[in-house]
Amino acid sequence: MPPHDDDAVQLAQAGRPAPLVETRVYQPEREWHRHDYHQVLFGLDGACELEIGGHLHRLAPCGGLIVPAGERHDFLGLDGNRQLVLDMPPGSLALPAALMDRPTAFAITGGWSERVRRLATPPQAASSRQHHWQLAAALAADLAQALGLSGRAQPTHFPLARVDAYLRQHLDAPLRADQLAAQFGWSVRRFHTLFCDAFGDTPHRYQTRLRLDQAARLLADRAQPLADISLALGFPDQTTFTRSFTQRFGMPPGAWRAGLGMANIALPASR
């Protein structure tokens, strides 16, 4: 299910892959797609059916489904269906690559279900590239925790979920590969190899993406100075933060915040 043309143009600004989050209703006629971005569907109302690789998935409220990039999926909407859909180009959000390597159904439970519904009803002004990133980063953070807790995507003997959770809990300072290897009881070389295989990136680059995803969310709070955000996320100074943010998102954090408008999205609390 491709993004709308106007949104695709907007999200292609600065030539960087960017996620798109929107609610969608699927028609009762069977259709199929294959696209070069990952897709995560969160059931809101009614139900829809998706067939991937000969396996039929029924998506209902409080259920979710990962559709990896490149996978053909046939889909059919049933009465009253509505889904929150995250279109996620590989390498855009900070999520372990191994989480997206095969179709996966998951349950949306407790407070997470409430947050998904809240994110599905953003303010009318919430259509900018910045708002899509905020929504996507919030969904990705919950998705990583939920799939990690279920034991999903654990490379042999490598604690992917624990490593990812540890990094998300220590955004206030970048951690070197040797520090991470010692924390989890591996040699530096072996840890680095397994990390790159599981996360699709080096420890340094993945941490930078995590910290900048969080920065994109924190910028919604206009009362929080940029200097405080850069300090909270472990950047040595605001200049370094601004340079890293601009390289990632194609604009400095001040311009990003200005583009959010006044209808800021309340950030869901972590579970």
pLDDT band at 154 (very low <50, low <70, confident <90, very high): low
Instruction: Report the percentage of the chain scoring pLDDT > 90.
Output: 71
Cα-based torsion angle of the residue sequence 222, 228, 233, 234 in order, rounded to the nearest 10 degrees: 160
C-alpha 148/C-alpha 99 separation (Å) is 9
C-alpha 137/C-alpha 93 separation (Å) is 7
Residues 6+ apart with CB under 8 A from 69: 35, 36, 37, 38, 90, 100
Residue 46 has pLDDT above 50, yes or no: yes
**CATH architecture of residue range(s) 5-125:** Sandwich (2.60)
Cα–Cα nearest to 134, from 20, 234, 250: 20
Q: What are phi and psi of 56, to 5 degrees?
A: -90, 125
102-146 tens-digit pLDDT? 999 999 998 999 999 998 986 544 567 888 898 999 999 999 888
Contact 266, 135 (CB under 8 A): no
C-alpha 207/C-alpha 104 separation (Å) is 25
CA–centroid distance for 239 within its chain: 26
86-95 tens-digit pLDDT? 999 998 999 9
Residue 172 has pLDDT above 90, yes or no: yes
Contact 20, 11 (CB under 8 A): yes
Residue 263 has pLDDT above 50, yes or no: no
Amino acid in the structure at residue 33: H
pLDDT band at 157 (very low <50, low <70, confident <90, very high): confident
Residue 11 has pLDDT above 70, yes or no: no
Q: Give whole-number Cα distances, 151 to 99, 136, 156, 161, in Å.
A: 10, 22, 12, 7
DSSP one-letter code for 187: -
Q: What is the pTM of this model?
A: 0.85
Burial class from Cβ neighbours inside 10 Å (0-12, 13-18, 19+) for residue 54 reads: exposed
